[in-house]
Amino acid sequence: MQLDLDRVSLHFGGVTALSEVSIQVKKGEIFAIIGPNGAGKTSLLNCISGLYRPSSGRIVFEGKDITHMSTHQRPLLGIARSFQNIELFSHMTVLENLMLGRHIKMKSGIVSGGLYWGKAQREEVMHREVVEDIIDFLEIENIRRKKVGTLAYGLQKRVELGRALALEPSLLLLDEPMAGMNSEEKEDMARFILDIAEEKGTTIILIEHDMGVVMDISDRVAVLDFGRKIAEGSPEEIQCNPKVIEAYLGEQVS
Amino acid sequence: MRLRNPFVMESGVFTTNYRDDMAFHFPVLAKIRVAVILLLLFLLPFFASTYFVSIANLAGIAVIGALGLNILTGFTGQISIGQGAFLGVGAYTAGFITAKLGLPFWLALPAAGFVTALVGAVFGVPSLRLKGLYLAIATLAAQVIIEFVIVHWETVTNGVHGMFLPAPGIFGYALDSDVSYYYLVLTACIIMTVFCFNLFRSRVGRAFIAIRDRDLAAEVMGIDLFRYKIYAFALSSFYVGIAGALWGHYLRIISPEHFTIGVSIQYLAMVIIGGLGSVMGSIYGAVFITLLPIVLRELSGLLANYLPNIEAVILGLKEAVFGITIIVFLIYEPEGLAKIWQNIKDYFKLWPFSY
Ligand SMILES: Nc1ncnc2c1ncn2[C@@H]1O[C@H](COP(=O)(O)OP(=O)(O)OP(=O)(O)O)[C@@H](O)[C@H]1O
Ligand SMILES: [Mg+2]
């Protein structure tokens, strides 16, 4: 197992966002997390990427207990993510956003950066090449110099995926990467996700509301409801699981 | 469908196009403009009066200080109202080294930078927990504490009596005239401006901006917020320390009232009016704020011929003009003079078809 969540719980005052959730994710799989609004999906991702600390339980990544590891150290282990509400650096260009994804792969400090001579310059050029490859891969060549804040929503989502890819992660956490997209954009995004998993062997944990997409691209699915995992299995198994149907019907009624 | 693996880099292929692409991409015209401006700056003492050169010196020193404050407040998003006191740390450090220890100025100048950087880093520690107004108050505490130390640590600072500083000499050459000092300030200005430009197109500078824009996302990119905020405080304070050292040795006499919160606010005005998060803006703002009282004084002198009592009125209005200017900029052009200048340039790019 690459990622092992062992009875993770998370409380906010009286609110229980997660309650003894255990999930195991294998290297290279596309693992989807679904569930009604407020089920705790984002909270789970936040625990893995370190923005939230579980109230109890353990998170083990590649054999290492990361439950209490600080947020900024996790990318060094190979964990990268995108956000449900886009968190790009909106005053910067697409290129600069992606270059920030290379931060941990680069070394130059204040002095060499300020002098911009020799090593620092070579380093910029080298990492710029990696970033340009990602830009080609995501087919966003024509917007590379645009300020991110000026881009359409769907493109911003794509740039945010690019920034996460720039970290060369072994585990990629995507929080609703297709939310608010039209069907064509969704198709592109699904294709990118499949390509990333296939070519690089990157493990992908994906939160998504569009059931069609989830069923199409994921290897396994876990269902959260009121902070509890109520089901887990292959897409086919999930589709006909009575508990899942009930959870979603319950949402429709209320 | 074209598939490319984004992580495989072809080895042995060394293209230079990204480097060209990433060099400062100045069109020829802009290159000429920079060259002309530099030339004019170097020749300035030959055609300007001593009085004008002395104003240029003050403006140049303010540019370095404003760059420092902008690194912290404009680029990293950490507000500071301790600027005045940090200038004091630089000035007194340099003064102590030259006046009391009798060591050379070229040693005192970088030492002032490093000591101020250290002090700034220490007072930056609360920035991990505090933001916005709360951080402002923490830096206000820095201002008060440092002022207190300057007044009371008499063995080092002479307290309220102030300290006389020798004219700096570099390699046996005394910089005791306005003109010779001008070249020192100009050199420092150019080096520190270029350094700043470079910083913000490379790794650490980008991290600073990322922290300002979205600190959560920055952390998820692997940026250690605490470490980088401390870096920003230290680097900013290094600039301010250099400015303080240059200022002290230019005035040749320093006392606590040179480094009050009023000075902090003046510098905040420079970066707000010039443009937060803009290197050129720091320069415009510093020059603007340095010139403002001088222009006002000239103006009142001129008008005094017609309206005998106007001088007192205008000088009394000085503080008000200052405050009003800041407010007007905050409301109408929060991106400052740098943005206004950009707009003018954009206008003339399209001219005569600009409508
Ligand atoms: N920082 C927080 N402070 C307080 N409560 C929180 C916080 N973050 C999440 N919660 C609560 O935890 C619960 C789970 O929220 P979460 O955002 O994880 O849901 P979600 O499954 O991602 O929902 P959605 O589909 O709407 O994105 C909600 O009741 C939410 O109000
Ligand atoms: Mg969510």
Query: In 10 A of CB A147, how many CB atoms?
Result: 16
With respect to residue A120, please indicate whether it lies within any of the assigned structural domains: no
Would you list the DSSP string of B1-14? -----TT---TT--
Enumerate residues lining ligand 1, CB below 6 A: A 12, 15, 17, 35, 37-43, 84
- A141-153 pLDDT, tens digit per residue, is 999 899 999 999 9
The A residues from 208 to 247 touching B (CB cutoff 8 Å) are none
Nearest Cβ partner for A71 among B205, B207, B220 = B220
Q: Does B29 touch chain A (CB under 8 A)?
A: no
Residue of A10, A11, A15 best suited for mutating to test ligand 1, as the one with most atoms within 8 Å of CB: A15
- B204-244 pLDDT, tens digit per residue, is 999 999 999 999 999 999 999 999 999 999 999 999 999 99
pLDDT confidence of residue A180: 86
Distance A119 CA to ligand 2 centre (A): 42
With respect to residue A134, please indicate whether it lies within any of the assigned structural domains: no
Mean of the pLDDT values across residues B277-300? Answer: 90
- For chain B, the distance separating the N- and C-terminal CA atoms, rounded to the nearest angstrom, is 44
pLDDT band at B329 (very low <50, low <70, confident <90, very high): confident
The B residues from 276 to 295 touching A (CB cutoff 8 Å) are 277
Q: What is the pTM of this model?
A: 0.90
Distance A92 CA to ligand 2 centre (A): 25
Backbone phi, psi, residue A2, to 5°: -85, -40
| Contact of B124 with B229, CB cutoff 8 Å | yes
- B234-254 pLDDT, tens digit per residue, is 999 999 999 999 999 999 999
Is the CB of A71 less than 8 angstroms away from the CB of B7? no
Q: Does A165 touch chain B (CB under 8 A)?
A: yes
pLDDT confidence of residue B256: 94
CATH of the domain at A34: 3.40.50.300
Is the pLDDT score of B7 beyond 50? no
Chain B residues touching residue A98 (CB < 8 angstroms): none
Chain B residue nearest residue A96, CA to CA: B206
Q: Alpha-carbon distance B271 to B63, whole Å? A: 10
Query: In 10 A of CB A13, how many CB atoms?
Result: 5
With respect to residue A232, please indicate whether it lies within any of the assigned structural domains: yes
Q: Choose the weakest-confidence range: A56-65, A220-229, B8-17, B48-57.
A: B8-17
| Contact of B269 with B289, CB cutoff 8 Å | yes
With respect to residue A222, please indicate whether it lies within any of the assigned structural domains: yes
Per the model's pLDDT, the better-predicted residue between B131 and B355 turns out to be B131
The structural domain count of chain A equals 1
The contacts of residue B267 (CB under 8 Å, 6+ apart) are B62, B65, B66, B69, B83, B84
Ligand 1 atom with the smallest distance to the CA of A45 is 18
Q: Alpha-carbon distance A98 to A123, whole Å? A: 15
With respect to residue A53, please indicate whether it lies within any of the assigned structural domains: yes
- Share of residues in chain B with pLDDT > 70 (%): 90
Chain B residue nearest residue A163, CA to CA: B221
pLDDT confidence of residue B128: 84
Q: Alpha-carbon distance A176 to A34, whole Å? A: 10
Is the CB of A99 less than 8 angstroms away from the CB of B206? yes
Distance A86 CA to ligand 2 centre (A): 12
pLDDT confidence of residue B219: 95
Q: Alpha-carbon distance A110 to A79, whole Å? A: 26
Residue ranges making up the domain that contains A10: 3-78+169-249
The contacts of residue B47 (CB under 8 Å, 6+ apart) are none
CA distance A242 to chain B (A): 37
Chain B residues touching residue A50 (CB < 8 angstroms): 219-220
pLDDT band at B354 (very low <50, low <70, confident <90, very high): very low
Measured CA to CA in angstroms, residue B72 lies from A155, B123, B131, B233 at distances of: 31, 13, 13, 6
Q: Alpha-carbon distance B321 to B295, whole Å? A: 12
- B118-172 pLDDT, tens digit per residue, is 999 999 999 888 888 889 999 999 999 999 999 999 888 988 888 999 998 877 7
Mutate which: A72, A105, A111, A141, vs B, most B CBs within 10 A: A72
Cβ neighbourhood burial of A9 (10 Å; 0-12, 13-18, 19+)? middle
Q: Where are the domains of chain B?
A: 50-162+177-255+263-287
Nearest Cβ partner for A72 among B8, B22, B224 = B224
- B67-124 pLDDT, tens digit per residue, is 999 999 999 999 999 999 999 999 999 999 999 999 999 999 999 999 999 999 999 9
Is the pLDDT score of B6 beyond 60? no
Is the CB of A137 less than 8 angstroms away from the CB of B4? yes
- Nearest CA to B204 among A51, A145, A118, A115? A115
Chain A residues touching residue B7 (CB < 8 angstroms): 130, 133, 168, 200
Give the mean pLDDT of chain B. 87
Is the CB of A114 less than 8 angstroms away from the CB of B7? no
Cα dihedral B119, B121, B127, B128 sign: negative
Chain B residue nearest residue A149, CA to CA: B213
pLDDT confidence of residue A254: 45
Is the pLDDT score of B348 beyond 50? yes
Residue of A16, A19, A42, A251 best suited for mutating to test ligand 1, as the one with most atoms within 8 Å of CB: A42
pLDDT in tens, chain A (254 residues): 899 999 999 999 989 999 999 999 999 999 999 999 999 999 999 999 999 999 999 999 999 999 999 999 999 999 999 999 999 999 899 999 999 999 999 998 999 888 888 888 889 999 999 999 999 999 999 998 999 999 999 999 999 999 999 999 999 999 999 988 888 999 999 999 999 999 999 999 999 988 888 999 999 999 999 999 999 999 988 888 888 888 776 655 44
pLDDT confidence of residue B24: 53
Distance A34 CA to ligand 2 centre (A): 10
With respect to residue A52, please indicate whether it lies within any of the assigned structural domains: yes
Is the pLDDT score of B355 beyond 50? no
Q: Does A141 touch chain B (CB under 8 A)?
A: no
Mean of the pLDDT values across residues B43-57? Answer: 94
Q: Does A69 touch chain B (CB under 8 A)?
A: no
Q: Does A157 touch chain B (CB under 8 A)?
A: no
